[in-house]
Structure 1
Amino acid sequence: MRSKILFCLFSLPLIFILACGGSQTLKTTAEDNCIPAWYTTIPQDPNYLFAVSTANSRDLGLATDKAVTSARAEIGRQMEVRIQSLQKRFDEEVGLAEDSELRQMFTQATKTVVSATLSGSRVREQKHCRQGQTWQAFVLVEYPIGAANQALLEQIKQNQNMYTRFRASETFKELEDEVKKFEEWKSRQARQNQ
């Protein structure tokens, strides 16, 4: 009899623990189903930069705004990396590092481009999920790379000293070619959307 009582005393808490753990597994599975495929497998396209983000809030709009802001900041970081790479190439070709005034002008031009990048990006996909009292927003933000190249090219051309130094470089010619490709791509997109 005593062994039956001990068995019941130890079994009862174990049953409660297992019962509580089972519903948690179901809840996790439901949350996993909410995650969109594009969030875990970010699209690849040579014409765009992409960033994904998620945010939570009791307010649906605020959750979306927070996610979009975070994704745009990530695109800004990606642009900074691309421009730093371009700056290194200009350093090698025209000695940008040796001319502090020219370097300062280039730095200002890149800041302008990154700022424009954030405003030129757009939400390509979004999904919202309700989790109790909280909304979770998933967003995929895109930015056309050609637009950033075009903005940088325009900034360089606006500064006569920088333009004179850069225009003879191979890197500048490649940048111009990329901008031309972007303009052609925009024209094709406009014709397809008509």
Structure 2
Amino acid sequence: MEMLCTLRSLTEAQRDALLQAPQRLEEFLDDEEDFGDPKGGAFLELDIGEAWHGLQYLLTGTPWEGKAPLDFLVRGGIEAGDIPSDEGTARILEPAQVKALSVALREVSEDTLRRRYDPAEMQAQDIYPGTWEEPLDDTDPLEELVSYFEELQKFVGQVTRRGAALLVHIG
């Protein structure tokens, strides 16, 4: 089973609706409109696919730990509640946490990411998807992670400027 990561901005009304009805996570993720927001606020979304765990490792140097706010892909925020197990996990970062994350991401250099990239160690640490030493296609995993990181920096900056919360869904 693939484990993919989607990041999505949340208005206050959307955050409250999701926290009150976490079983509606799939409906929320599929909704192109205004789930729980009577004002119909447009959302921002970034799909980082299977790169989430590699990014976690490059940002923190660990598979499942690290210091906040850079450990946000696997920890932190508010658990969205009891979601069906086949839908994965969902956590919500409040606007102040998103702002701190934006600042922290701007302070991470591409050089730092490149220095931390170690396919053999990532394989040994069982960093998902586990194809670091032998990629499945012609894509350079490091270049893909750096590209996702740049998109992540932009995305979190946009969410911050909106003053929105952030949903981190891995499923």
What TM-score comes out, normalization by structure 1 length? 0.28
Larger Rg: 1
What TM-score comes out, normalization by structure 2 length? 0.31
The structure with the greater share of residues assigned to helix is: 1
Which of structures 1 and 2 has the larger relative contact order (alpha carbons within 8 angstroms, sep 6+)?
A: 2
